[in-house]
């Protein structure tokens, strides 16, 4: 066989390989999902809360899947959030921003990348927000900022703690400064939450990066993170290029970030609900040990003191 025939044969092989690759739709509609040891049945993965039984990888999940796990299936009320104008800068690159938004809405069934709900963890009323990475990488624009503000205002109005399951690549640069200003808006809103003495819990989910880590994901009263979640501001390659040093193993993984003091605890997905519940019980003094300590100004103590005198 001469070299021309050999090259043609290799070309044919490559063509067949490329042809055999499944399309995005085929992957989405398949009953299988891929992880470390090859395909795993989606049903098995779902029963394990979308955590790989072999390598413990916490797969990315949608907002509804997240809330179903924490609050119970459909056991929450989805709050309506504002819909600001799409594409204020008339952005277009390889594809128009309007088309990207349209595709993301079809793919996720959401108007924006953040969903806000009102629900309960055991007997504690909470307001919670979660991001969907499938909605343009979980990036934040005016709509996502407004969604968070709606959630925080709801928490203040109802005196609820606010739980934020943060994830996403950062601010959405298709909206330039409008996106960047969401960091300040949400930070100011969280300050209001704190002025009202309401707990603000952050659960960092994979990936949590850019302006999200640079603002509202890092100012919680308590910071939880899922195992192996990427928690970063700038990308590792950018940092390595700047400092010109080899970065340590596991750099920017939640376990590493915990060692640097930015994360309080790494919590497995199956234990999140219980951990959130117990920390809220302590912060809201609903824990039986804590609530048994008498408050000097409480009605009961005043009655007892009066009776004793
Ligand atoms: Zn795996």
pLDDT tens digits along 214-268: 999 999 999 999 999 999 999 888 999 999 989 988 999 999 999 999 999 999 9
For residue 22, how far is its CA from the centre of ligand 1 (angstroms)?
A: 20
The answer to whether residues 272 and 222 touch, using CB atoms and an 8 Å cutoff, is no
- Which residues are registered as beta bridge partners of 35? 38
Q: What is the pLDDT of residues 264-297, one digit of tens each?
A: 999 999 999 999 999 999 999 875 555 555 555 5
Tell how far CA 289 is from the center of its chain.
32
Token pair 């070309």 in the structure block, residue: 11
Q: Which residues are near ligand 1, the ion (C-beta closer than 5 Å)? A: 35-36, 52, 54-55, 57
pTM score: 0.85
> For residue 59, is it left (φ>0), alpha (ψ between -120 and 50) or beta?
beta
For residue 42, how far is its CA from the centre of ligand 1 (angstroms)?
A: 12
Among residues 59, 56, 36, the alpha carbon closest in space to that of 46 is found at 59
For residue 47, how far is its CA from the centre of ligand 1 (angstroms)?
A: 15
For residue 46, how far is its CA from the centre of ligand 1 (angstroms)?
A: 13
> Can you spell out the DSSP letters for 24-64?
HHHHHHSSEEEETTEEEEHHHHHHTTTB-TTT--B----HH
Angstrom CA distances, 249 to 66, 90, 229, 238, 257, stand at 29, 42, 14, 16, 12
For residue 16, how far is its CA from the centre of ligand 1 (angstroms)?
A: 28
For residue 165, how far is its CA from the centre of ligand 1 (angstroms)?
A: 22
For residue 178, how far is its CA from the centre of ligand 1 (angstroms)?
A: 39
For residue 36, how far is its CA from the centre of ligand 1 (angstroms)?
A: 4
For residue 23, how far is its CA from the centre of ligand 1 (angstroms)?
A: 22
For residue 41, how far is its CA from the centre of ligand 1 (angstroms)?
A: 12
The answer to whether residues 86 and 101 touch, using CB atoms and an 8 Å cutoff, is yes
Among residues 82, 160, 90, 69, the alpha carbon closest in space to that of 118 is found at 160
Q: What is the pLDDT of residues 123-174, one digit of tens each?
A: 999 999 999 999 999 999 999 999 999 999 999 999 999 999 999 999 999 9
What are the backbone dihedrals phi and psi of residue 124, each rounded to the nearest 5 degrees, phi first?
Answer: -100, 120
For residue 39, how far is its CA from the centre of ligand 1 (angstroms)?
A: 9
Torsion 221-156-123-129 (CA) sign: negative
Return the exposure string of 203-215: e unless at least 16 CB atoms fall within 10 Å of the residue's CB, then b.
bbbbbbbbbbbbb
């Amino acid at each position: 066989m001469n070299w021309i025939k050999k090259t043609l044969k290799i070309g044919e092989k490559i063509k067949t390989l490329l042809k055999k690759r499944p399309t995005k739709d085929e992957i989405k509609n398949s009953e299988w999902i891929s992880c470390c040891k090859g395909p795993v049945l989606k049903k098995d993965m779902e029963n394990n809360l979308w955590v790989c039984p072999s390598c413990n990888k916490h797969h990315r999940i949608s907002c509804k899947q997240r809330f179903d796990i924490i609050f119970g299936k459909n056991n929450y009320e989805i709050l309506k959030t504002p819909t600001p104008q799409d594409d204020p800068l008339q952005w277009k690159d390889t594809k128009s921003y309007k088309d990207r938004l349209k595709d993301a809405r079809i793919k996720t069934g959401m108007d924006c990348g953040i969903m806000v709900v009102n629900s309960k963890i055991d007997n504690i009323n909470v307001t919670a927000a979660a991001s969907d990475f499938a909605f343009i990488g979980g990036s934040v624009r005016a709509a996502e900022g407004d969604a968070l503000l709606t959630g925080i205002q709801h928490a203040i109005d109802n005196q609820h703690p606010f739980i934020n399951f943060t994830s996403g690549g950062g601010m959405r640069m298709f909206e330039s400064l409008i996106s960047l200003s969401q960091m300040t808006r949400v930070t100011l809103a969280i300050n209001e939450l704190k002025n009202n003495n309401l707990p603000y819990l952050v659960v960092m989910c994979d990936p949590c990066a850019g302006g999200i880590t640079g603002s509202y994901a890092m100012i919680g009263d308590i910071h939880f993170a899922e195992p192996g979640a990427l928690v970063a501001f700038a990308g590792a390659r950018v940092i390595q290029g700047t400092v010109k040093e080899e970065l340590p193993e596991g750099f920017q993984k939640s376990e590493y970030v915990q060692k640097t003091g930015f994360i309080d605890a790494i919590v497995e997905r199956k234990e999140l609900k219980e951990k959130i519940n117990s920390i809220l019980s302590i912060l809201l003094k609903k824990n039986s040990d804590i609530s048994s300590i008498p408050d000097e100004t409480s009605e009961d103590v005043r009655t007892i003191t009066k009776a004793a005198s």
